Chain A
Amino acid sequence: MIRPSRKVVEWALGLLLGAVFIYASVEKIWKPADFARIVYHYQLIGPGREVGPLPANLLAVTLPWIELLVGLLLASGLWRREAAAVAALMLVVFLGAVGSALWRGIDIENCGCFSVSGKGRQAGIQLIAGDLALLGAAVVLARPRARHTIDDTRP
């Protein structure tokens, strides 16, 4: 049985995390080219000498809509576990991207997290801490709900 307190916690976390993802997606959806420019700044998936601009452009065009969808699902509670798993996956990718930029000494003035125009949040330790907190929330929501369902007896 699910204790009511856990239900409330899940509902609140879902709403919170969902709101963050929805908010994060809006400006990127409105200004996709500006977001693509920020993806370039990370110098992870091009454009570079070997790779053209296509992979970075595809990421810039699709990622914000996955964020929006995940945010709506999390906030509404529909497919919450699955949406939280996708959110966790995205946050791991964001953490990897920011960490690698810091590691390589690439100065990312605007991380492209929420705002894509002008000066946004700088990619740094604070950002990593914030992402880790969100990741924690996503992992909590992605956990299986009850341990004693019939399916868990499957090999």
Chain B
Amino acid sequence: MRFRFAVRVMAIGLAGAALGLAWNAVSGRGFALGANVMIKQGDEVVPVAQARVRIEAGALALDARPVDFYAMQHIPGALSLPEDDFEAAFLRLEKRLRASSDVLVYCAGFGCEASHMVSRKLKERGIPAAILEEGWPAWQDAGYPVKAGSEP
């Protein structure tokens, strides 16, 4: 009886998993299992070392995290363009953004999608913007300079 119970429990799990995989393959609503769903076609994702080179060469960094996080610490020179307050912040920064030839957006890391969203919103407005891979934690862990306070 216990054995049958365990077998059935596993059968439910396996059948569900099989249905899920099949649905993902044939329904047309699925996605590539090896790819990050946050990254869409056309997104430019840049590793941290390359991002630093570009920023030092004059690229404009944008912090897409909520403004409180920016005030705690940010990449030196980065401007705050929070995803949760995009429209207002964009109006403030539009001139600077349009004058920059290279723009890089970052947010709070792998689980964070704010940088992707800001990058796409900028692209819709005609401003190409790359995304810093793994965002702020990658920058911090690499030991690159950081700055506290609400000034860039």
What total of chain A residues lie within 8 Å of the partner, measured CB to CB?
A: 42
**Chain B residues whose CB sits within 8 angstroms of the CB of A68 once the complex forms:** 16, 19
Complex formed: what's the CA distance from A66 to B9 in Å?
Answer: 11
Complex formed: what's the CA distance from A106 to B111 in Å?
Answer: 9
Is A115 at the interface (CB under 8 A from chain B)?
no
Q: How far is the CB of A87 from chain B (nearest CB, A)?
A: 9
Complex formed: what's the CA distance from A73 to B36 in Å?
Answer: 33
Complex formed: what's the CA distance from A115 to B23 in Å?
Answer: 19
Task: Evaluate whether A36 and B31 lie within 8 angstroms (CB atoms) in the complex, with A82-B12, A83-B12 already known.
Answer: yes
**Chain B residues whose CB sits within 8 angstroms of the CB of A79 once the complex forms:** 8, 12
Q: How far is the CB of B37 from chain A (nearest CB, A)?
A: 5
Q: How far is the CB of A140 from chain B (nearest CB, A)?
A: 16
Interface residues of A: mostly helix, strand, loop or mixed? Answer: helix
Is B101 at the interface (CB under 8 A from chain A)?
no
Is B20 at the interface (CB under 8 A from chain A)?
yes
Task: Evaluate whether A66 and B12 lie within 8 angstroms (CB atoms) in the complex, with A57-B33, A58-B33 already known.
Answer: yes
Q: How far is the CB of B20 from chain A (nearest CB, A)?
A: 4
**Chain A residues whose CB sits within 8 angstroms of the CB of B134 once the complex forms:** 49
- The reply to whether A31 and B29 form a contact with Cβ atoms under 8 Å apart is yes
- The reply to whether A70 and B16 form a contact with Cβ atoms under 8 Å apart is yes
B-side interface residues toward A, CB under 8 Å?
1-2, 5, 8-9, 12-13, 15-17, 19-21, 23-24, 29-31, 33-38, 109-111, 113, 134
